[in-house]
Amino acid sequence: MRPQALHTARRAGFAAPSLKLAGFESGWGFGTASAPAASPCAAPLGFASGRHPLADDAVSAALRRRAEEIDAAFAAIEPTLRALAPAQFEPGFAERASAELRSTLRLEIPTAAFEARWNAPLDLRTLYARCVVGTFCRLIERAFDRGLAQFSDGEPAEALIRRWGFHAIDVTPCADGRLSGVIDYILRIPPAVVAYRQSYAGAMFDVAESVRHWESVELSRFRAGMPNASGEPTKFLKIGVYHFSSADPHHEGCAAHGSDEARAAGSLLERLEQFASAVRQIEGADAGVATLLIGVDTDTDAIHVHVPDAAGRMSVSRYLCSRELYDSTGGMEREAAKEAIRAAVAQMTGVAVDDPVTEGMRWLCGYVLKNNFGQVEAVRNLYGGRYPEAGHGEKLIIVGDAVDDVQLRNLAYQAQMQTVEEGAVDLDVGIKVLTHHHGPAGLPLPILVHFRYDARIPGAADVAAAKARRLAASIASRHAGLAARGDLYIGAVIRAGDGSALTPVELPARGAAKECCA
């Protein structure tokens, strides 16, 4: 398998494998399509030596190895099922097939799933979806080292962000699968400082829910002094992440905003302002919150950081582009490149480089830009500057609570919700995205319902399991046509908040499956 930095499904440069098994009438449907003409900004800029003094090669290499491992896990599903299918009517097949998946894919799927009769062949479509969900669950428990990236050499991220004037970071990206690697790969923010991460279509987060998240962090500071004492003058930082496409801006941008970059940025900026305003109205003008707007070019993984001015205001039209900074500083010595970034951020803020009032936010913006250099360089070295394919290629949809343990571009569409009524728009966008790619291949849409619970609270696991069953049933009901045709596969798991193993939740057979991740 070829090395990759952030690409899973729809592997450009590889022919789409043809699947000639019972229940499939075509290939996977993830073949390379002819790409539209790139806009000028999609082409690599001046610096092209492939090695920037501020790009962290060690982190990039580790992330690349992680991507290859995740990619390989999903790539093994099809050939394993193809090899098994011809023997499906032989005596003892179910036991052998179950053992083979345990050995090859490391999935525990009961023998009942492999029982076939001459007039009822093996349901390979459902098995494929089941293996996708099961593989994703296995990768969650694989426990990848997510502490690779650091804000600064040798200094703990928690201490550094407090020195910059922050104590926790809340990141809200769009649910689009091309942002599946936004924390680890694109922004390279150490997870130790990320208090929350919830995804919504168009990044249109619920303001009230975000206020509750902020309150829980502040309560922890007041009661336990975590992550720092409530008396320290630090702020809670909420980052909103929208996205756009430089290669095909009118078709491959954010679907929730009609592929309109200005609309995506403007709507999210307004939502961030609403959040900050709500906190101030509840807790007073001096409430410790700050906001930051970041855009991601999903063709290059470069970012637009909308640096706040001296008064903390942001503008859709005012930002620093990491790709442009990468090129303009690529030929400098390391310290000179750092100073150039600091000067650019200060200029964007409208203050002197040594201005003490804005220093914390300016340093944070500079370090996020610098951290992104490694990803810009990885995409440039592997793909010549931009991904060969601009569109979607997600493997599955995740609903319920966010999953950050496994990150990779185009891995999963994440729609965070407690009920279908709450997240109908997000769910419908995800269904539309995956139907477009999975439908022509005759593949069902894999959905994983995932909820966390606090193991310290009696009965919390049972409550989470009940929520998972209720949400799974609501999804099957809302998309009853897909479920009736067998085009919808739903699995469910719950997990203690301490990061312990997943617990599968048994679901009714119709429109879902039992023990999908057992």
Which own/partner contact pairs does 286-289 have at CB distance under 8 Å and 24+ positions apart? 288/218, 288/233, 288/234, 288/235, 288/236, 289/214, 289/235, 289/236, 289/237, 289/238
Contact between 32 and 389 under an 8 Å Cβ cutoff? The reply is: yes
CA distance 494 to 24: 32
176 catalytic residue (yes or no): yes
Strand stretches in 337-470, DSSP E:
396-400, 412-416, 445-453
CA distance 306 to 317: 8
What is the C-alpha R_g of the chain?
23
CA distance 445 to 428: 12
H or E, element range at 77: helix 77-84
The single-letter DSSP state of residue 255 is: G
Catalytic hit among 176, 299, 426, 487: 176
Q: In degrees rounded to 5, what are phi and psi of residue 234?
A: -105, 165
Residue 462 CB partners (closer than 8 Å, separation 6+): none
Q: Taking the chain, what is the end-to-end CA distance rounded to the nearest angstrom?
A: 28
CA distance 292 to 83: 50
CA distance 294 to 320: 10
Look at the block and give the residue holding tokens 């090899």: 83
CA dihedral 101, 106, 111, 117 (to 10 degrees): -20
User: 3-class SS at 86?
Assistant: helix
**The tokens of 324 are what?**
């442009």
Residue 30 CB partners (closer than 8 Å, separation 6+): 9, 10, 11, 16, 393, 437, 441
- DSSP-assigned beta bridge partners for residue 399: 415, 449
Q: How far is CA 259 from CA 199, 255, 350, 414, in A?
A: 18, 5, 31, 19
- Sign (positive or negative) of CA dihedral 181, 186, 190, 193: negative
Active site residues: 176
